[in-house]
Amino acid sequence: MDYLLILFGFFFIILGIIGAFLPIVPGPPSGWLGLLLLQLTNDIPTDWNFLWITLAIAIAVTLLDFVIPILGAKSLGGSKKGIWGATIGLFVGLFFGPLGLLFGPFIGAFSGELMHNPTNKKIAFKAAFGSFVGFLFSTGLKFTTSLVFLLYFIQNLWQHKDAFF
């Protein structure tokens, strides 16, 4: 049973990292679920304080993921269409590899801003840049959190390797 918990826990940790980039997957909460499954094994002592703290962090990062791009766009005059454009651009960019992940949100935000304000490309560019920066910051925050969860998972599993391997 412990091996199954470890396997599913690792799956959710990896899903958490993927979720840092895919808007459809809740990255940090998925990674936290992986930590929970690891802690539920018989040979690893359950640290409930750690689990509650990491749950709070996962929830806070997930909520910030919604707020940060909006703040970035609003600070430079962006609109909801720009934010939606950045999200759609990210999804389309997934099919074009790392460059698509980098430029997709910006192109999407710019397109969304042009739909909102078609007469002024300078304002659309500025707002798209704000959406893009906010998006990059929130994605980086989710990725960092998920990566820390992965590192903790590996460290905790390594400390108790004699019980499993």
Beta strands in 1-156 (DSSP E): none
Q: 17: number of CA atoms within 13 Å, CB side? A: 12
Q: Domain of 149?
A: 2-164
* 136-to-70, 73, 84, 151 alpha-carbon distances in Å: 12, 12, 14, 22
Of the two residues 121 and 60, the one the predictor is more confident about is 60
Q: Do residues 5 and 38 lie in contact, with contact meaning Cβ atoms separated by under 8 Å? A: yes
C-alpha neighbours within 13 Å on the C-beta side of residue 56: 5
Mean pLDDT, rounded, for 80-108: 81
Write out pLDDT tens, residues 3-35.
899 999 999 999 999 999 887 788 999 999 999
Question: From CA 61, how far away is CA 73, in angstroms rounded?
Answer: 18
Confidence band of 57 (pLDDT split at 50, 70, 90): very high
| Tally of domains in the chain | 1
Using 50, 70 and 90 to split pLDDT, how confident is the model at 75?
confident
* Rounded-to-10 torsion of CA 155, 157, 158, 161: 170
- The DSSP symbol for 21 reads T
Structural contact between residues 153 and 9, judged by C-beta atoms closer than 8 angstroms: yes
